[in-house]
Amino acid sequence: MSKFAIIETGGKQYRVSEGDVITIEKLEGDFNQGDKIVFDKVLMTDDGKKSDIGTPYLTGAKVTAELVEQGRAKKVTVIRYKAKSRYFKKKGHRQPFMKVKVTTLA
């Protein structure tokens, strides 16, 4: 079994191993392709023999990743409608995302 960690970012939790490419919520700040991103909110690590579980986070543990791509997801259409009252609102939304490749678990 390979090493893995569970990290938290963007209000969500992800199970990651070295070499994984994950799509996460866009992070604050200015990032370019190839930039290193460090996730320090590590909830759990496992190396196949020993598991470490944080309360809620592990101190000193971090996961390093490299930015592969930034973009926006497909358009989602949001419609608000009330019958018999001439109320109709149509709005579109594209959620920004970041695609990162996990390089090291420490």
Asked if residues 9 and 39 have their Cβ atoms less than 8 Å apart, the reply is yes
With contact defined as beta carbons under 8 Å apart, do 101 and 36 qualify?
A: no
Residue (of 13, 8, 3) closest to 51 by Cα position: 3
pLDDT tens digit sequence for 79-99? 999 999 999 999 999 999 999
Please identify every stretch of the chain with a pLDDT value under 70, giving residue numbers as ranges: 1
pLDDT at residue 42 in the model: 96
47 contacts 18 by C-beta, under 8 angstroms: no
